[in-house]
Structure 1
Amino acid sequence: MSSIYVIGTCDTKYDELKFVKDTVETSGVPALLVDVGIKAHGNEVDITNKEVSACHSFDKDFLSRVEDRGEAVSLMAEALQEFLKQREDVAGVVGLGGSGGTSIVTAGMRVLDIGIPKVMVSTVASGNVAPYVGPNDICMMYSVTDVAGLNRISKKVLSNAANAVAGMVSFKKDKVDSEKPAIGMTMFGVTTPCVDAVRKQLEKDYDCLVFHATGTGGQSMEKLLDSGMLSGVIDISTTEICDLHMGGVMNAGEDRLGAVIRTKKPYVGSTGALDMVNFGAKETVPEKYKDRNLHVHNPQVTLMRTTPEENRRMGKWIAEKLNKCEGEVRFLIPEKGVSMIDAPGMPFYDPEADKALFDAIEDNFNQTDSRRLLKLPYHINDKGFADELVKNFLEIINN
């Protein structure tokens, strides 16, 4: 029988964790108390910290060796990830802790599939939670008081968390309404006409999941691809690669396109919004970029036009990634512009910079029967380009 895993450091948070476990079980859902503390104690748990630590991929006895707390916390986070990967009875997870406990428990949560309930009660949940959540469906709940004893406030918060995860498990939707295969699509504001046109042509037969290419958007799409929840991808807006290379704020990391390589699923990609790097308010743009072509998108977002040299670097990076793909790949280049503001009369119109990008992709791209590059005489938001994306996707999804 599947259970809700109640996870935390039982050397410091035992009473609170036991309270959550008891509350979950009162709702009628089985629960297991999992200890990820780094110190010995005499509290009764269902799964000990030594059982978890023994799952570490190369340092199974670190609890008896490591004295530095920071190192031990990092190793326990890695061990919890491996532990949870091996379990087949995880109905949901609820964790609680301070900064250390949060880093351990959310690391474990991040390896679980999208859709498995995950609730983290944390003292740091009212700040920047991106490092803890990443591209995952983790619910962060601020503890209000420190997780240090049971009191009139903590009992209410912990009860809410316990009942929330129990409700998610008890009333989960096993079967989605749509039996249509799901596909991932990436969109940015400046590629919206293209994405909308593609989606409208495909949504009758496919469940189109559109991801905003904000860094976590691309990561979320690829996590779903890795999880087997997507049948293929139409990656129109690869702009996150700009931020990876130039230090923008919407960086999806070095593993962008990694899931496409690993899963070998059908992939149609393009160069959407590779003309721009994203920063915050204008005053936050790094000093080295102050004299560049900047466009204030709104008071919180400033865009920087990419140069020919930067585009050559990105083009080579993209081609080298795609060359590792063993599945069906079609990469389409819109020769007349890659975004709304990369068009005649618009602030980022720069045919020389675009050509540098396109040439670098073409020069480094290894074409095969299954991996093809197409250069098309369209702007990315032209209807003809959307039609070509759809045509190529349907050709490879049905292979």
Structure 2
Amino acid sequence: MPTIALVGALDTKGAEYAYLADQVSALGAAPLLVDIGVLDEPTVTADIPRERIAGAGFRDAVGGRSNSALDELRREHDRNAAMRVMARGAGAVLAELVAARRVDGVLAVGGSNAAYVMAEICGRLPFGFPKVLVSTIAAGDTRAYVRETDLTLMYPVVDINGLNRLSRPVLGNAARAVVGMAGRTEQELACSVPTVGVSMFGVTTAAGSAVVQGLSTYGVEALTFHCTGVGGRTLESLIRNGTIEAVADLTTTELADELVGGVCSAGPGRLTAAASTGVPQVVSVGALDMVNFSGTVPTEFADRRLHPHNPAVTLMRTTPDECTELGRRMAARLNPSTAPVAVLFPHCGLSQLSVPGAAFHDPDADQALYRALKDGLRPGIDLYDFDTDINDPVVSGTAVELLATWLKKETP
């Protein structure tokens, strides 16, 4: 019998969670009610009371210990601070239960507070573990809540405020969804072959696809990440948690958005996980010739070289100065690596758009990037030069051969 953790504020959402518990039980699973409410008294009895959640959250968030954490949160009467503590506590407690194989799925319902708590929980749970959120935020910008997880979202149509002819079937579907997910098998999650993370963008698709195909001939599974910011953060997260054993990071365009202020930044953690965890990586400069903007390009860039990628995205060419800084940053992030590293530099185009005759062709900017990389990389990191563009098969072929060699060496 799978156990489903139902996480919510049992003071304001008691009726909804009692209904969910009944639905889960009717499906042959065991509900585990986890209370994250703070101010008012719960209207249904929790299996894991709010006092335990507050205590765990107080230790996790503040670094201290308190037997009266819930009382302290009530005295402060700060909803934002309380949510932070309860979210951390729920994440810590659920992570322990999942690790002990005492919980097989997690379901939460509510508004932005429930979504925030669920985001904290999901960040601590393994990929493939069932995670379902029913929330009104599902119809808006969900990036802050989904983050780099495989959270499943359902839009409730009406607000989660009592049981009615619309909320009942939605909550019932959510219960069926998470119970059904909890019936997954270990075989579905297992992978007995090496796994390589591959970065790709629309203008480097040929390179990414060729790497995936080439690795498959060696019996290696490739996971491709679209470098829109979330893709890069997810790649880094999976490297850190041990899911990915080697990296073909041929498309590092998110560094340009981080530097200049584009919409596809993956943050300062991009290109750091493999170096810090000892994962071998082949890296290139794919799409560092561009910065991405959606909608209107900032007025400060009005005189720059722009290219409409599609009606929703406008690209801007990186300058020699920006490329110099990008080369420095790449070298600085790669130099701490303890595992094998190789950098591939295609001198005739960092993407489809910077090959000779294309909109972003700029040999001076490309050369500035190359010089900064060459000067900044420490001894021991090989820099491969190619008299071709990033999408030429010789570039992807070199990446595949290097990774296959490294993975073979690491195979017992």
Match of 1:11 in 2: 11
Q: CA deviation at 1:90?
A: 3.0
1:392 match: 402
Could you say what secondary structure the match of 1:166 adopts? helix
Write the deviation string for residues 119-139 of structure 1: whole angstroms up to 9, x where unpaired. Answer: 101122111111110121111
| Residues 53-85 of structure 1: CA deviation (Å, up to 9, x unaligned) | 222321554533232111211222223222233
TM-score, reference length from structure 2? 0.91
Following the alignment from structure 1 to structure 2, what is the Cα–Cα distance between the partners of residues 32 and 357? Answer: 55
Q: After alignment, is 292-301 or 189-198 more displaced?
A: 189-198
Q: Which residue of 1 aligns with 2:258?
A: 244
TM-aligned CA deviation for residue 118 of structure 1: 0.8
Q: Give the secondary structure class of the aligned counterpart of 1:309.
A: helix
For the aligned residue pairs, the C-alpha RMSD in angstroms reads 1.9
Q: Distance in 1 between matches of 2:190 and 2:239?
A: 20
Query: Superposition pairs for residues 365-376 of structure 1, below 5 Å?
Result: 365-368=377-380, 371-376=381-386
User: Does residue 1:188 correspond to 2:198, yes or no?
Assistant: no
* Corresponding position: 1:321 with 2:328: no
**Please, which of 297, 309, 317 is the counterpart of residue 285 of structure 1?**
297
TM-score for the superposition, normalised by structure 1? 0.93
Partner amino acid, structure 1, of 2:233: Q
Higher fraction of helix: 2
Q: Find the aligned partners of 1:279 and 1:200 in 2 and give their Cα distance.
A: 31
Deviations 1:176-208 (A, max 9, x none): 696432211111111112122222221131112
- 1:152/1:99 CA distance change after superposition, 3 Å: same
Query: Which amino acid letter does the alignment assign opposite residue 3 of structure 1?
Result: T
Residue identity matched to 2:326: M
Counterpart for residue 23 of structure 1: 23
1:311 Cα shift?
A: 1.2
* Higher mean C-alpha deviation, range 51-60 or range 352-361: 51-60
**Number of residue pairs matched?**
395
In the other structure, the counterpart of 1:150 is 163
1:43-122 alignment to 2 at 5 Å? 43-56=44-57, 57=60, 58-61=63-66, 62-65=69-72, 66-87=76-97, 88=99, 89-122=102-135
SS in 1 for 2:12: coil
Of 299, 304, 308, 1:296 maps to 308
Report the residue type matching 2:408 in the other structure: N
What amino acid does structure 2 have at the position aligned with 1:53? A
Decide which moves more: 342-351 or 387-396: 387-396
1:265 paired residue number: 279
Conserved in 2, the CA contact under 8 Å of 1:295 and 1:347? yes
How far is 1:2 from its partner?
A: 5.7
Structure 1 match to 2:229: 215
Aligned residue identity for 1:52:
I
Asked whether the 8 Å contact 1:278–1:303 carries over to 2, the reply is: yes
Q: 2: CA distance between counterparts of 1:227 and 1:237? A: 21
Question: In structure 2, what is the equivalent of residue 139 of structure 1?
Answer: 152
SS in structure 2 at match of 1:268: strand
Question: Residue 347 of structure 2 aligns to which amino acid in structure 1?
Answer: E
Contact in 1 for aligned 2:236/2:269 (Cα 8 Å): no
Farther off after superposition, 196-205 or 304-313: 196-205
Q: Is the 8 A contact 1:29 1:170 kept in 2?
A: no
Residues 100 and 364 (structure 1 numbering): CA distance in 2 closer, same or farther, change over 3 Å?
same
CA distance in 1, matches of 2:225, 2:185: 23
2:388 matched residue in structure 1: 378
Measured in 1, the distance between the counterparts of 2:340 and 2:25 equals 48
Deviations 1:135-175 (A, max 9, x none): 21111111222211111211111100011100111245633
Gaps of 5+ in 1: none
Contact 1:240-1:251 at 8 Å conserved across structures? yes
